[in-house]
Structure 1
Amino acid sequence: MEPLSHTTAPRTLDRREGPYGEVVLRERGGPGGEIHEIIANGCFLMDTSDGRSERLLMDAAYGALGGRPDPSVLIGGLGVGFSLARAAAEPGWSRITVAEREQAIIDWHLSGPLKHISAAALADPRTTVLRADLVAHLHNTSDTYDALCLDIDNGPDWTVTEDNHSLYSPDGLAACARCLSPGGILAVWSAQPSRNFEDSLRNAGFSGVRTEEIRVARGVPDVVHLAVRPA
């Protein structure tokens, strides 16, 4: 999501070099108080100014399951915590797993400035946080989930690192499908619609491919791409 304009310059709270590059947590003043931003490899990833996109990601995935009893979900990316918080606010999820590869981001939630967003969700007994690269986890795990919600990039066409391109490739989408139970839902957040990604989902064998839009203050809408693993 594009950062909103603010009158004060951002202040760097933490900057770390990790195995996947640099991650930075910044803070800036906004009309409603302090706003935190995550920058990955110089690319704005997300901030705490507006969680509508993340909430829609989780709500759309849960709704698409059509009342399936006790569903489980894997969230790709902890980010600023809105997706996890929304999942934990839904009592219907029986198991909530988050894959986050950056220890810095996990630390910002456990004991840093993002704790106020995610503390209750992290304390929820249904929640497990995996310190793991999502792409590697999808290829190596034997676990399956009823929903897979991805918010690790600015979308299939705008990845944070080069390695993430493989997630949206035929091989990556096949790995997503293998980790879903029959009839399970793949939900992918994107900063812009992608017809090419819709085609890739269909070519990978997913059905019910559709795109839901989230209106933003300026520019093209954010979207959530949804697809079903056939039963």
Structure 2
Amino acid sequence: MRLYSYHRSTTSYRVRSALNLKGLAYELEAVDLTEGAQHTADYKALNPGAGVPTLVLDDGTVLTQSLAILEYLDAVAPEPLLLPQDPIQRAKVQAAAHTVALDIHPINNLRVVQRLKGTHGFSAEAAQAWMCHWMAEGFAALEAQLGDDGPFSFGQTITLADLCLVAQAYNAHRWGLSLDPYPKVQRVEAACLALPEIQAAHPDAPQNAKDS
């Protein structure tokens, strides 16, 4: 498999984490979002949405959108299972994951910041305030959803919710948002970062940061 990824992309971080946890071999292909590599004709032929990640399977099948990729990986390599089989637990995990992936991330990604600065005249400080405001709102909602019965979001095993959370926490640190008001989020982040598979997926890990 080949994963088209940008090291600081939180969506790419989620997929790298899942691939590592499941022990699946893959090659990394760097897509430098800051240089506009996602807008080249060759890349848009793979991913018309001009985003990352893009996962190309061994047979040439192309998958896009991190949550769709993660669900595919769970289906073909269910160990560890990132989405619980119990319907209630599955819904809770998905709700927490969606709080990050659908509520926080879409208004906090690079294209939004570039638009705010380039079209609407936001200063760097105003753009940072925008990012932190929406992350703070999202983390407050996420904090209320997380469980108390284990190191991870919902117990003793890592799930899709954790992969979304730890990636968004990285973005919070980058933009200077304190996570002190969210002790459960901090607990989950620490549990995730203790895992070697998550460490290897981290944006600052040498094998991922080489595309900077």
Same fold (TM over 0.5): no
Tell me which of the two structures has the higher relative contact order, counting C-alpha pairs closer than 8 angstroms and 6 or more residues apart.
Answer: 2
Q: Name the structure with the higher helix share.
A: 2
TM-score (norm 1): 0.35
